[in-house]
Structure 1
Amino acid sequence: MSDWVRVFAHSNALMVSHVHNVLESAGVPAELRNMTLGGGAGELPLGDCEPGVWVAPHNAARAESLVQEALEGPLEARPEWRCPGCGERLEGVFETCWACGTHRRD
């Protein structure tokens, strides 16, 4: 899998793991690399030590878009919605009704 491309790197391994989970949950196969090489910084080039998320080249554009949305939020705010389960009005940022647990359908 050496032909994969790096779509995200950060010195914070928790941030890298979060991005990996976002991609995997969206159905984009991703690989974590360099999660334990931080101690090699100084002896090895920084780019070789920094934790990162890698994907196959054909998934790179979608992965980069998902990474951007995960870090910065959606490009457009979603409108309020009414829960189909209980009728509660919810802000657009919510995917699940806080009152009854029904998932947004749109």
Structure 2
Amino acid sequence: MSNIVLEFPPGFEDYAWEVEAKGWLPGVVAVIEGRRYTLTVYDPARLTQDVDDALKGGRVFLERNLVVVASVTRERIASAIQEIVQTGRVGDLRPDPA
């Protein structure tokens, strides 16, 4: 992960257990080859719940730079970003405005 830097929201270490339990974390920044990508990370259960809630409310569910991992932990997020880079899928992400 030498060309990748992950920035977690302030204080993440203090509430990481809560994030994992809730299955959702907005505001993770991945810096990949100098470009910043702000991500929202979900686990499958929470994503399903939020999509269902949006659709039942007559809305659309839309999330920029959505990343789904088995469990919302620092390790799973880092592994997912590494996989995105290794498989050449960085182009599927939208970089933050300069």
TM class, shorter-length: under 0.3
Greater radius of gyration (CA): 1
* Larger RCO, structure (CA 8 Å, separation 6 or more): 2
Between Structure 1 and Structure 2, which shows a larger proportion of helix residues? 2
Between Structure 1 and Structure 2, which shows a larger proportion of strand residues? 2
